[in-house]
Amino acid sequence: MTRHGNSQSSAANLLTDNPELYEARFPDPERLAGHWAEDCLSRYGAGPRVLDLGCGTGRDAAHLHRAGRTVTGADLSEAMLAYARTEHPGPEYLRADLRQFTLPGREFDAVVCLDSALLYCHTNAELDGFLSSVRTCLAPGGLLVAELRNGAFFLGRTELLDAPRVNGFTWRGTTYRSTTTLYVDRTAQLLRRTRVWTADDGSAPVEQRSAWRLLLPQELRYVLAANGFEVLALYDGPGPRTEPPWRAGDPEGTATDADRLHLVARLGRQLPTPVRTPR
Ligand X SMILES: C[S@@+](CC[C@H](N)C(=O)[O-])C[C@H]1O[C@@H](n2cnc3c(N)ncnc32)[C@H](O)[C@@H]1O
Binding mask 65-94 for ligand X (x = CB under 6 A): ----------xxx--x--------------
Please identify which residue in 99, 195, 213, 266 interacts with ligand X, judged by CB under 6 A.
Answer: 99
- In the bound complex, what is the minimum distance in angstroms from residue 275's beta carbon to ligand X? 30
Comparing CB distances to ligand X, the nearer of 194 and 268 is: 194
Helix (H) or strand (E) holding 241: none
- In the bound complex, what is the minimum distance in angstroms from residue 212's beta carbon to ligand X? 9
Distances (CA, A) of 4 to 7, 101, 162, 186: 6, 30, 29, 31
Residue 279 to residue 266: CA distance in whole angstroms: 34
Residue 263 found at the interface with ligand X (CB under 6 A)? no
Closest by CA to 93, choosing from 68, 118, 61, 123, is 61
- In the bound complex, what is the minimum distance in angstroms from residue 269's beta carbon to ligand X? 27
Contacts of 72 (CB under 8 A, 6+ apart): 49, 50, 51, 52, 61, 91, 92, 93, 94, 103, 106, 108
Contacts of 128 (CB under 8 A, 6+ apart): 223, 226, 227
Residue 114 to residue 93: CA distance in whole angstroms: 16
Comparing CB distances to ligand X, the nearer of 148 and 234 is: 148
Comparing CB distances to ligand X, the nearer of 77 and 227 is: 77
Beta strands 49-53 and 70-75 are: parallel
Binding mask 101-140 for ligand X (x = CB under 6 A): -------------xxxx--x--------------------
Comparing CB distances to ligand X, the nearer of 120 and 153 is: 120
Please identify which residue in 55, 148, 214, 234 interacts with ligand X, judged by CB under 6 A.
Answer: 55
Comparing CB distances to ligand X, the nearer of 24 and 225 is: 24
- In the bound complex, what is the minimum distance in angstroms from residue 63's beta carbon to ligand X? 11
Rounded CA Rg of the chain: 19
- Residue pair 262/239 in contact (Cβ under 8 Å)? The answer is yes
Comparing CB distances to ligand X, the nearer of 103 and 225 is: 103
Sites for ligand X among residues 6-35 (CB under 6 A): 16, 33
Residues, the chain: 279
Contacts of 158 (CB under 8 A, 6+ apart): none
Please identify which residue in 21, 39, 46, 56 interacts with ligand X, judged by CB under 6 A.
Answer: 56
Residue number with the shortest CB distance to ligand X? 56
Sites for ligand X among residues 137-156 (CB under 6 A): none
Closest by CA to 181, choosing from 195, 197, 199, is 195
- In the bound complex, what is the minimum distance in angstroms from residue 122's beta carbon to ligand X? 10
- In the bound complex, what is the minimum distance in angstroms from residue 13's beta carbon to ligand X? 7
| Four-residue CA torsion sign, 96, 103, 217, 247 | negative
Q: Footprint of ligand X on this chain (CB under 6 A)?
A: 16, 33, 54-56, 60, 75-77, 80, 97-99, 114-117, 120
